[in-house]
Amino acid sequence: MRRMALSELSLDWFIGQLHPLRPGFWLLLSFALSGLTLVAARFLPQNLVGRLRLGRWIFTPYLGLLVGGLSPRLLGLSDIDWVAGLGLGVGLIFAIWLLLALVQATLHRDESATEQDRPVGFSLLGQIIWAGSQEFHWVFLRGAVWEIFLALPSPPALPGYWAIWLASLLALPDIFVQHPHTAQRVIAGMLLITTAILFFYTRNFFLCWLLHASAGLLVGYGKAIVDSPVQSSGQRAAQR
């Protein structure tokens, strides 16, 4: 990445990025809601915390798109080259399926913990919706950071490349907090990295959703991801 002098970034530039018509505002709102969800997880039932997280993933970027503060093209929602995307994307998806299956086979998974975290009645449709919501959040991070890079006084070379990987770093803390077990974190991290690679080559949210949902079902990831590992005060008291 080309080095940019910090002196080029003025206070007015930073303040300008926090306008509702700029992606920085929606990124800040998403992080603030993430913190509130983490605090609420100590007092609310886990299923309600899962719904709060789902709502943050969907409605923050959705409102940003409605207001005009986010670019649907940079989020992989419009101007999609389906011919090129399908040709490359399907091949990548099959390769990533194989990779994730091998990773899952090498992980030592705590079956009792997985059963404990599995939400009752979390259907196949529910798993697909959850995967799409999480992927929507990830493409929101990628597109928002990408647009901020383009707005810099001296944009870096290959802004899309750097934006995708910086967005992956921004998504990692959420994965760490959401999952209590190492195996779940590893699989979630693999999904994040592989969908980032697919997004880089295809710029297609829908193909990333297909990969996220199908690979998650393949390795059983979608069955144990809904609720936060942070227990409510009532649950902690019951365990004493």
The model's pLDDT over 96-123, given as tens digits with 9 standing for 90+, comes to: 888 777 766 776 444 444 443 444 345 7
Domain boundaries of the chain, sorted by first residue: 10-229
Q: What is the pLDDT of residue 237?
A: 43
| DSSP letter for each residue of 25-62 | HHHHHHHHHHHHHHHHTTTS-HHHHHHHHHHHHHHHHH
Share of the chain above pLDDT 70, in %: 79
**Is the predicted pLDDT of residue 1 greater than 70, yes or no?**
no
Please report where in the chains the tokens 């393949």 appear, as a residue.
218
Q: In this predicted structure, what is the pLDDT of residue 142?
A: 97
User: What are 202-223's pLDDT values in tens digits?
Assistant: 999 999 999 999 887 877 665 4
The C-alpha atoms of residue 97 and residue 76 are separated, in whole angstroms, by 21
- Spatial distance between the Cα atoms of 7 and 4, rounded to a whole number of angstroms: 9
